[in-house]
Amino acid sequence: MVAASIPIPFALGQALWWVGSGYQEEWIVCPECCGTKAITMVRGDGTAVSVHCVACAVGFEPPTGKVKRIFYQHRPTPFVPRRVEIRGQEILYSTSDPDAQCYSSVPASLLFASKEACQAACDALNAERTKHEEERAIAMLASTRRGLAWSVHYWGRLVKELERHLAQARARLAVCKEKEKSKGKTASG
């Protein structure tokens, strides 16, 4: 019987470098409404319609004119492992004491023996995540614009339908009033 072994890449207590969390948020002026909280859309017939900006509105709240932008700034962070854990083929390290009940773990793939190697990994991770975040933001913006166009179309159609119903109701009301007047004239005549 051959015993299987998994090589442990780093020793406990060894001074290492970790890519760090690198996650930050900032509030910027909404790129869709430029902070005005409204969007003016020009329909195919040339009519301009202003609607609340949904790109900077959260849920059913009114627009704020600002949106949250996420950006990544991973940077080499000192890391001294005090605990190692193996989950299948993955090796995880933690800076917590071995007997700690609560701790967070870092995969060995995000740890480096030299600061330079860690910096290179940070740069690559920052570029990859920033690109992904920008692509996601563009996709959300395109989706929001489609939603706004649909909303303007929907509400415009609903207004026309309600105006048509109102005109029919006024016409019927006028007929009813005429009938009442004619009944009153015949009863008094």
* Per-residue pLDDT, 157: 81
Cβ atoms of residues 79 and 16 within 8 Å: yes
**Per residue in 24-48, pLDDT tens?**
888 999 988 999 999 888 877 888 8
Please state which of the ranges 38-52, 112-126, 147-161, 164-178 shows the lowest mean pLDDT: 147-161
Domain boundaries, the chain: 16-156
User: What are the angstrom distances between the C-alpha of 177 and each of 89, 170, 172, 173?
Assistant: 85, 10, 9, 6
Angle, alpha carbons 78-83-84 (nearest 5°): 105
Write down the pLDDT at residue 187.
61
Confidence bin at 1 (pLDDT 50/70/90):
low
Phi, psi of 84 (to 5 degrees): -125, 145
Whether 188 has a pLDDT exceeding 70, the answer reads no
Q: Once rounded to an integer, what is the mean pLDDT over residues 61-68?
A: 92
pLDDT at 189 exceeding the cut of 60: no
Average pLDDT, the chain: 85
Q: Reduce the DSSP state of residue 41 to 3 states and report it.
A: strand
Q: What percent of the chain lies above the pLDDT cut of 90?
A: 35
The pTM for the full model equals: 0.58
- In tens, the pLDDT along 7-28 reads 789 999 999 999 988 778 889 9
